[in-house]
Structure 1
């Protein structure tokens, strides 16, 4: 089942269950996917493109969460956390920190990186492997630790 079909099914279910917040998030994600398809002039997005859109939606919400926490807006913090949970349900299973560290170590060995000057090469080779499966800031932190 494609992501769009899954979103449509979940949207119908959210309507039946009168889950307004969930319905709103599903509609936003679906709209983002459709806008991206229009932008790249395709009928359907590839899985990788869908994953990029989902990652963008998740990142936007996490950034908003940080801003609301800093501003002390507890009412909005709870709402955004709920939205993050809904978006994460459509993301692939996230890798643990140990799994990411193993991929980082292997990639560093593959590109023969020895210092922080090689960080760009390592990140360039690494990010396609963990796209959507690991948080970019965690990957960045682990690469820096291994290269120092």
Structure 2
């Protein structure tokens, strides 16, 4: 089932359950999908495009929740985190940090990277291979850690 159809099905369920937080998150996903379709004048989005849209929405909410927490606004941070839970269910299963480290080590061995000067090369390959399965910030942290050793 396409992401759009899946979102619509869940929106109906959220409306029936009167779950406003889930409904708001699902409407954001639907809006982002429609926006991407009209920008590219496509009938259907590829799986990679759908994953990027969902990742972007999750990242926006994580950033917002972090800002709200820094400003001691728990009342605003909690709804953002609830939306993250709803939106994140559309992402492929995320890799654990140990799995990310193993993949990054393999990439470093494959490319022969030997220091921070090769970070761009390693990040390019890692981002491509782990797209949708890991957060870019986590990948970057692991790559820096491995290359600085």
Q: TM-score range by the shorter chain?
A: over 0.9
SS class of match (2:112): coil
- TM-superposed CA distance for 1:124, in Å, is 0.5
1:143 and 2:112 matched: no
Structure 2, gaps ≥5 residues long? none
1:46 is aligned to 46
CA distance in 1, matches of 2:79, 2:146: 37
| Match runs of 1:93-132 below 5 Å | 93-132=93-132
1:5 is aligned to 5
CA distance in 1, matches of 2:28, 2:78: 18
Structure 1 length normalisation: TM-score?
Answer: 0.97
SS class of match (2:38): helix
- TM-superposed CA distance for 1:58, in Å, is 0.5
1:28 is aligned to 28
- TM-superposed CA distance for 1:108, in Å, is 0.8
1:16 and 2:47 matched: no
1:69 is aligned to 69
- TM-superposed CA distance for 1:77, in Å, is 1.1
CA distance in 2, matches of 1:41, 1:22: 28
- TM-superposed CA distance for 1:140, in Å, is 0.8
Structure 1, gaps ≥5 residues long? none
- TM-superposed CA distance for 1:111, in Å, is 1.4
Q: CA offsets per residue over residues 80-132 of structure 1, 9 Å max, x none? A: 11111111111111100110001000111121111100000000111011112
